[in-house]
Amino acid sequence: MADNSSVEIVEGCRLPVLRKNQEHEDEWPLAEILSVKEVSSRKLFYVHYIDFNKRLDEWVTADRLDMKKLQFPKKEAKTPTKNGLPGSRPSSPEREVVTTAPSRGKTLPTPVQVDFFNSKNDERLLWVTTDFVIVCQRFVGSFHGKSVNRQVAAKVHESNVGIVHNQDSQDSSDGIPTAPRMTGSLVSDRSHDDIITRMKNIECIELGRHRLKPWYFSPYPQELTSLPILYLCEFCLKYLKSLKCLQRHLTKCNLRHPPGNEIYRKGTISFFEIDGRKNKSYSQNLCLLAKCFLDHKTLYYDTDPFLFYVMTEYDSKGFHIVGYFSKEKESTEDYNVACILTLPPYQRRGYGKLLIEFSYELSKVEGKTGTPEKPLSDLGLLSYRSYWSQTILEILMDLKPDNGERPQITINEISEITSVKKEDVISTLQYLNLINYYKGQYILTLSEEIVDGHERAMQKRHLRIDPKCLHFTPKDWSKRGKW
């Protein structure tokens, strides 16, 4: 490496940076310099590793920079004009918003009119209506060379074929709108994705017995961002600048659980419903904390139109926050979740699916089908795909004959039973690659691999919502005037 003192590194430069990978081996990925600062006469550089998750961004010292491969930022071309007016500044590739729904390099299925199955073996398949009808039966045999132990036949009506989305690409399932919707307690808005918001500004957060390393920027007051540790009251989420201030606050804070109504309790798990208008301070503090771990959202301070459902674990000291989701009081798009987060100390323990399951239990009580607001975070997408898959497979595998007749179920019935929106049911079947075109018909085939994998996953899923423990009465917010 060259002498770092001979070249001035400015924001926007790119060069390889030394980092340790998961195997703790040295690697030199390309990174962009987002900021430069001097601390105790030593220069520090904030780097974003190109094509890596933003949560890995960090401050590094000059000795970790490979100056031999330094790339200076290119001068921006003049912005193209439209109708004589200057256009917007071209965005970098990672800031571009996808405006087309189909997955890259893929085309959605062409609508097809499917005829009834006409074959000597047609007693194995049963068509009842022109809707998407599924017939399940036990079947051991061979399907396209694969061993199967259960076969599901489906007739796809022409109006439904067009909404079966190809899920090979992660982006295709996100349903990213052409423009950000300015709703949601934390909403997607890439226009604010500038240098400041691309940099983590909080070093460490102390929340109860946990110390959290934030992944992303959160707009806490600027005077607090230079502190080595930001202290939060784990019950009211008020932020304080020192341990002494926190201790003084705890002598005055009477809360030992989130404000609002406890609507669910089983064992040590409780859910509290918080009105964003009645408990505005708590709701805004919750959004500030959540933003530390959600990159694709921008803080939205108007919490009045939202309800917050906070999941907690109880012990002798109180109810400790595990995660939460928010939802609009009124949603014209049938969103039953605006934002959802499990805090890092509780991740990979089944709490994410529990939050999702709870959101659908609320939708069942409301008599509605719901879907999460898009785009989902990377972890959120994984959790929802897993939840939808397990929920739908559970229904298909539990179908039993009725009075000697083969069991039947429609997509609409699956949607009504689960409160999962019909489009999400169909896209999940497509993602699982269960839909096959066989002898002129669409049939769903569950292989032994799918069945065995599902059974193993359900054995590990110990946390479940018990509907009997839910005490929730939905409100008609359209008749309540202003919130």
Cβ atoms within 10 Å of 67's Cβ, excluding its own: 17
What is the reported pLDDT for 318?
95
- How far, CA to CA in Å, does 418 sit from each of 310, 362, 455? 22, 11, 19
Strands (E), 169-257: 186-187, 205-207, 210-212, 230-232, 239-240
Identify the band that residue 53 occupies on the pLDDT scale cut at 50, 70 and 90.
confident
Q: Provide the 3-class DSSP secondary structure of residue 86.
A: strand
What is the reported pLDDT for 81?
52
Identify the band that residue 193 occupies on the pLDDT scale cut at 50, 70 and 90.
low
Q: 463 versus 24: which is more confidently predicted? A: 463
Q: Quick one: average pLDDT of 82-96? A: 42
Q: 326 versus 400: which is more confidently predicted? A: 326
- How far, CA to CA in Å, does 449 sit from each of 33, 149, 387, 432, 456? 46, 10, 18, 12, 11
The structural domains of the chain, ordered by start, are 13-69 (2.30.30.140), 200-375 (3.40.630.30)
- How far, CA to CA in Å, does 276 sit from each of 223, 287, 307, 352, 360? 26, 11, 6, 22, 20
Q: Quick one: average pLDDT of 1-25? A: 78
Sorted by sequence, the CB contacts under 8 Å of residue 40 that are 6+ apart come out as none
Catalytic residues: 373
Identify the band that residue 77 occupies on the pLDDT scale cut at 50, 70 and 90.
low
**Each residue of 26-35: pLDDT tens digit?**
899 999 999 9
Q: At what angle do helices 351-366 and 378-398 cross, to 10 degrees?
A: 60
Indicate if the pLDDT at residue 324 is higher than 50: yes
Indicate if the pLDDT at residue 83 is higher than 90: no
Tell me the pLDDT of the chain averaged across its residues: 77
Name the least confident of 301-305, 422-426, 442-446: 442-446
Indicate if the pLDDT at residue 68 is higher than 50: yes
Identify the band that residue 106 occupies on the pLDDT scale cut at 50, 70 and 90.
very low
What is the reported pLDDT for 149?
42
Q: From CA 138, how far away is CA 407, in angstroms rounded?
A: 10
Q: From CA 206, how far away is CA 193, in angstroms rounded?
A: 27
The sign of the dihedral angle between the CA atoms of 364, 369, 374, 379 is positive
Identify the band that residue 80 occupies on the pLDDT scale cut at 50, 70 and 90.
low
What is the reported pLDDT for 93?
37
Classify strands 42-49 and 30-39 as parallel, antiparallel or unpaired: antiparallel
Indicate if the pLDDT at residue 174 is higher than 60: no
What is the reported pLDDT for 113?
32
What is the reported pLDDT for 30?
95
Following DSSP, what letter does each residue of 150-190 receive, concatenated?
Answer: EEEEEE--HHHHTT----SSHHHHH---SS--S-SSEE--G
What is the reported pLDDT for 381?
85
**Each residue of 258-272: pLDDT tens digit?**
999 999 999 999 999
Q: From CA 169, how far away is CA 163, in angstroms rounded?
A: 16
Q: Quick one: average pLDDT of 55-63? A: 91
**84-88, 166-170, 366-370, 399-403: range with highest mean pLDDT:** 366-370
Strands (E), 257-375: 261-266, 269-275, 298-299, 306-315, 318-328, 335-337, 339-342, 371-372
Question: Which residues are bridge partners to 20 per DSSP?
Answer: 26
What is the reported pLDDT for 447?
82
Which residue has 């429609």 as its token pair?
A: 410
Q: From CA 420, how far away is CA 297, in angstroms rounded?
A: 23
Question: 0.85 exceeded by the pTM?
Answer: no
Q: Quick one: average pLDDT of 71-94? A: 55
Name the least confident of 217-221, 314-318, 391-395, 408-412: 408-412
Identify the band that residue 79 occupies on the pLDDT scale cut at 50, 70 and 90.
low
What is the reported pLDDT for 161?
33
